[in-house]
A and B are shown apart, each in its own frame.
Chain A
Amino acid sequence: MSTLTQQDVKRIAELARLELTTDELDLFTRQLGGILTYVEQINALDTTGVVPTSHVLNRPVDRPDVPEPSLSREDLLANAPDAAREAGLFKVPRVIG
């Protein structure tokens, strides 16, 4: 059974720079707890002697160091909520003091 507390959810929200209302905190604690409980079923399996897998592919996959075209700046900025399109820069709310 999951032991996720409201305190845990508050901390996660803080790391993600999210502000939650009391109702949301309640809701997400229940929902996230439910997900964890579901996933925790996997703990019932005996994995003694099984090598941990970080990835399903087990061979190197790489590419040569050859330049490929980048996106045009128009395309790159096309879906940006805010941008200085002439200067070719993305814009976000100011992030320091």
Chain B
Amino acid sequence: MSDTFEAVIGLEIHAQLLTATKIFCGCSTAFGAPPNAHACPVCVGLPGALPVLNRRAVDLAVTAALALGCEVQERSVFARKNYFYPDLPKGYQISQFELPLALGGGLQMPASVGGRFVKLTRIHMEEDAGKSLHEGFADSDRKTYLDYNRSGVPLVEIVSEPDMRSAEEAALFFETLRQILVWLGVNDGNMDEGSLRCDANVSVRRPGDPKLGTKTEVKNVNSFRYLEKAIEFEIGRHIDVLDHGGRIVQETRLFDAAQGKTYSMRSKEEAHDYRYFPEPDLPPLMVDAARRDRIKAALPELPEARRRRLIAEYGIPEYDAALLTQTRGVADYFEQTARSCGNAKAASNWVMGEVLRNMKERAVAIEAVPITPAALAGLITIVEQGTISSTVAKDVFARMYDTGRAAAEIVAADGLAQISDTSSLEPIVQRVLAAHPDVVAEIKAGKDRKFQFLVGQVMKETRGKGDPKLVTDLMRAALGT
């Protein structure tokens, strides 16, 4: 980026609240239902239908607001945002405007992206719109199809101040926010299904200029990487236009991931004036101090605090703590395993290694891992006791995963225990030596690096079960080296 300009970025994030029903009616919010299976007079805006607010949606929105350090307003007001588009059958979206649910708050960003505290402007509640299908039907050249399953799904819109200065910082802000929302159980973090979406407002200015440049808005970028790329492209485009004496046009743009470019979304469609006014069908939303305090008291320990505690309490490295706190479930799993086996570093290694690897390969969440923390602790214990080697332990882990049986049981039933008695290993050592007279001769001539080859042969014969230390000792004794 040209050093004569500074980028200014603010984000607007729409997050679906994890309720069972829509914000103003009892229709299900479950993803993937047949088109219009979850629609009723309220969410398709039939005349006379009246909205009634979902209490749980409010609790979740307040949870998010408190976790982000916002001031939850005792009284907020729903408003009608008027616009004509068929995905919004009432002709307006019920949102909040002048008096939103929460104000202020923010997120501390790490030193790697500038160490700024990125402030939030506000958090408000609103309903999602339906889905327009413009392509894929025989008459798509003349018709648009509409599915209202999403219409009325509860959302919070989280608006940041224009406090970010690089695409990298903005992407990390979004990622951190996502982790917190998922951690809180407020949102499922699923960007592919549209339950978490991000719009970015981008402008550039001369450093030190108190005035903001003209901004453009990049809409609906559904991955961290694309968000970063889209913002980077947009910053470059702004600088290029200004460097060539042009002017930035305030507009909405979309990101084309394949081309890595943004393009203008609307032109003559830009006749927008939302004519907000208070929603007459809903009373003001009251969140009294008692309700706010009850929700505050129920907030879980947040990711950053948990990372710090894991490092202090279990003495694990920062790297481990970061990996183990990707979700609350993983952090819980680690802590239970560590407490149960008494060896935090071993527990950390197993969770970061085999557990996370299996989750990734099988695309499952920690809750679906069939090995309980206590069972994993059992495996760690028998490795520590020397009953099995760490190589065999990985195999035992795989069998535990597939069968749900305990480690000790698998070791006993499948004969996997480490062979650590001299009488069993000695004959194998002798056999290996007899089979490789040439290697023995080389070692005796001083090529000691061949020694590991012989140890390897014994381990192979024992199918990995030989106690490596004992095998080494026996081999040294037999060779007299």
Q: Which residues of A contact B (CB under 8 A)?
A: 11, 14-17, 54-55, 57-71, 73, 76-77, 82, 84, 87-96
Provide the bound-state CA to CA distance between A82 and B145, in Å: 10
Q: Is B282 an interface residue (CB 8 A)?
A: yes
Question: A-side binding surface: helix, strand, loop or mixed?
Answer: loop
Return the contact of A58 from the options B20, B52, B280, B283 (Cβ within 8 A).
B283
Q: Is B294 an interface residue (CB 8 A)?
A: no
Which chain A residues border B85 with CB–CB below 8 Å? 95
Q: Is B55 an interface residue (CB 8 A)?
A: yes
**Given A63-B52, A66-B26, A84-B137, A91-B283 contact (CB < 8 Å):** no
3 nearest CB pairs, A to B: A68-B26, A65-B56, A54-B278
Q: Is B134 an interface residue (CB 8 A)?
A: yes
Are A67 and B86 interface neighbours, CB within 8 A?
no
Name the CB-closest residue of A to B53. A62
Q: Is B271 an interface residue (CB 8 A)?
A: yes
Are A65 and B143 interface neighbours, CB within 8 A?
no
Q: Which residues of B contact A (CB under 8 A)?
A: 19-21, 25-28, 34-41, 44, 52-58, 77, 82-86, 132-134, 137, 140-148, 271-273, 275, 278, 280, 282-286
Are A89 and B55 interface neighbours, CB within 8 A?
no
Are B39 and A62 interface neighbours, CB within 8 A?
no
Are B55 and A70 interface neighbours, CB within 8 A?
no
Provide the bound-state CA to CA distance between A63 and B41, in Å: 17
Provide the bound-state CA to CA distance between A91 and B275, in Å: 27
Are A66 and B145 interface neighbours, CB within 8 A?
no
Which chain A residues border B52 with CB–CB below 8 Å? 61-63
**Given A55-B283, A62-B53, A88-B34, A93-B27 contact (CB < 8 Å):** no
**Given A68-B21, A93-B143, A61-B53 contact (CB < 8 Å):** yes
Min C-beta distance of A43 to chain B, whole Å: 17
Are A65 and B35 interface neighbours, CB within 8 A?
no
Are B55 and A65 interface neighbours, CB within 8 A?
yes
Which chain B residues border A55 with CB–CB below 8 Å? 77, 278, 280, 282-284
Are A67 and B26 interface neighbours, CB within 8 A?
yes
Are B286 and A60 interface neighbours, CB within 8 A?
yes
Are A76 and B147 interface neighbours, CB within 8 A?
no
Return the contact of A70 from the options B38, B84, B134 (Cβ within 8 A).
B38
Are A93 and B142 interface neighbours, CB within 8 A?
yes
Are A88 and B284 interface neighbours, CB within 8 A?
no
Which chain B residues border A94 with CB–CB below 8 Å? 134, 140-144
Besides the known contacts A17-B84, A65-B56, A89-B147, 4 further A-B residue pairs in the complex with CB atoms under 8 A apart = A54-B77, A55-B283, A63-B52, A92-B146
Are B140 and A70 interface neighbours, CB within 8 A?
no
Name the CB-closest residue of B to A60. B286
Are A64 and B56 interface neighbours, CB within 8 A?
yes
Are B19 and A88 interface neighbours, CB within 8 A?
no
Which chain A residues border B275 with CB–CB below 8 Å? 15
Are A65 and B283 interface neighbours, CB within 8 A?
no
Provide the bound-state CA to CA distance between A77 and B146, in Å: 11
Which chain B residues border A84 with CB–CB below 8 Å? 137, 145
Name the CB-closest residue of A to B271. A14
**Given A91-B144, A94-B140, A67-B28 contact (CB < 8 Å):** yes
A14, A16, A66, A76: most-surrounded residue (chain B CB, <10 A):
A76
Return the contact of A95 from the options B26, B53, B86, B273 (Cβ within 8 A).
B86
Min C-beta distance of B94 to chain A, whole Å: 13
**Given A58-B283, A61-B53, A64-B55, A70-B144 contact (CB < 8 Å):** no
Min C-beta distance of A10 to chain B, whole Å: 11
Which chain B residues border A90 with CB–CB below 8 Å? 36, 86, 145-146, 148
Return the contact of B35 from the options A17, A60, A66, A89 (Cβ within 8 A).
A89
Return the contact of B55 from the options A16, A62, A68 (Cβ within 8 A).
A62
Which chain A residues border B132 with CB–CB below 8 Å? 95
Which chain A residues border B143 with CB–CB below 8 Å? 82, 91-94
Min C-beta distance of B321 to chain A, whole Å: 35
Provide the bound-state CA to CA distance between A89 and B431, in Å: 76
Which chain A residues border B40 with CB–CB below 8 Å? 68, 70-71, 76
**Given A84-B145, A92-B143, A59-B286 contact (CB < 8 Å):** yes
Which chain A residues border B84 with CB–CB below 8 Å? 15-17
Are B36 and A77 interface neighbours, CB within 8 A?
yes
Provide the bound-state CA to CA distance between A81 and B385, in Å: 75
A15, A59, A82: most-surrounded residue (chain B CB, <10 A):
A15
